[in-house]
């Protein structure tokens, strides 16, 4: 079985954390050799716990940020606290941040302000930025075109757009991460996008505990299920599994500056 990775999941989420040991054991059994664990669930305590988890496991790295849903809470004090957390060498990315115009749990203005603060922070700390984008592809591209991507780069997590949006993001320098959505029946647009993203910009993720792939759809998601997304992507692209897995591992190692294994 090809070694793969989960480029975005929330291990500190209360739906996953109590079962962390079990979930990590099942992930290892599914060949998941690296995990990028994202805090950014409502309060900074989840970022703190995520960094702590990463500190306990050599193969887990952390991302810290304020989810666009909570952008209204993202003031200077919160950004300063994130910067403090990001002093840990296990913090591999800043985020997730971004724009969610689908749910609009925070106003568009506060989401944009928070996004700009994260882009600045990522630039200052020389870390890549992890972006959440839902129904906001055009505005996101406008902002990043204006500010520039941080030199360490960025990833669009759980890509849900179409091929045109993927192309724009790739042009801006982003890596594109596909989730279990690739296995959903009504996901022709992201599937078409997965065909046109260059192999050296592809990543895969679960976004666990959310968005479990088929045949687990509707259940709690966990990092081991990224195998389903990898299989879907391999089949879709007609790729050689071990070559594609090696590419994806190389992409993650480059973007997140992972230590050689």
Rounded CA gap, 184 and 158, in Å? 13
CA angle 26, 53, 226 (to 5 degrees): 35
Q: Binding of Zn ion at residue 201 (CB under 5 A)?
A: no
Comparing CB distances to Zn ion, the nearer of 169 and 234 is 169
Residue with the CB atom nearest Zn ion in the bound state = 132
Q: Binding of Zn ion at residue 207 (CB under 5 A)?
A: yes
Q: Binding of Zn ion at residue 132 (CB under 5 A)?
A: yes
Q: What is the smallest separation between the CB atom of 220 and Zn ion, expressed in angstroms?
A: 14
Comparing CB distances to Zn ion, the nearer of 117 and 206 is 206
Comparing CB distances to Zn ion, the nearer of 112 and 207 is 207
Q: What is the smallest separation between the CB atom of 62 and Zn ion, expressed in angstroms?
A: 13
- Residues 253, 61, 206, 226: what is their CA dihedral angle, to the nearest 10 degrees? 60
Q: Binding of Zn ion at residue 191 (CB under 5 A)?
A: no
Q: What is the smallest separation between the CB atom of 36 and Zn ion, expressed in angstroms?
A: 10
Comparing CB distances to Zn ion, the nearer of 5 and 244 is 5
Chain residues binding Zn ion by CB under 5 A are 96, 132, 207
């Amino acid at each position: 079985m090809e070694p793969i990775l989960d480029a975005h999941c929330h291990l500190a989420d209360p739906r996953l954390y109590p079962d962390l040991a079990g979930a990590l054991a099942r992930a290892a059994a599914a060949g998941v050799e690296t995990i990028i664990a994202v805090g950014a669930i409502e309060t900074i305590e989840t970022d703190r716990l995520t960094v702590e988890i990463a500190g306990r496991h050599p193969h887990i790295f952390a991302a810290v940020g304020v989810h666009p849903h909570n952008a209204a809470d993202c003031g200077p004090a919160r950004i300063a606290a994130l910067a403090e957390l990001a002093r840990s060498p296990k913090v591999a990315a800043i985020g997730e941040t971004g724009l969610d115009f689908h749910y609009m749990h925070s106003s568009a203005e506060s989401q944009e302000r928070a996004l700009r603060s994260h882009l600045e922070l990522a630039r200052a700390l020389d870390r890549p930025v992890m972006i959440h984008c839902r129904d906001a592809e055009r505005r996101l591209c406008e902002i990043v075109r204006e500010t520039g991507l941080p030199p360490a780069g960025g990833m669009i997590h759980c890509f849900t757009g179409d091929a045109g949006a993927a192309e724009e993001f790739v042009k801006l320098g982003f890596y594109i991460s596909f989730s279990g959505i690739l296995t959903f029946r009504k996901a022709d647009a992201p599937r078409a996008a997965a065909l046109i993203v260059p192999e050296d910009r592809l990543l895969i993720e679960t976004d666990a505990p959310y968005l479990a792939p088929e045949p687990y759809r509707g259940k709690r998601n966990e990092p081991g299920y990224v195998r389903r997304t990898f299989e879907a992507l391999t089949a879709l692209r007609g790729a050689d599994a071990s070559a594609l897995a090696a590419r994806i591992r190389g992409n993650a190692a480059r973007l997140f500056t992972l230590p050689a294994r």
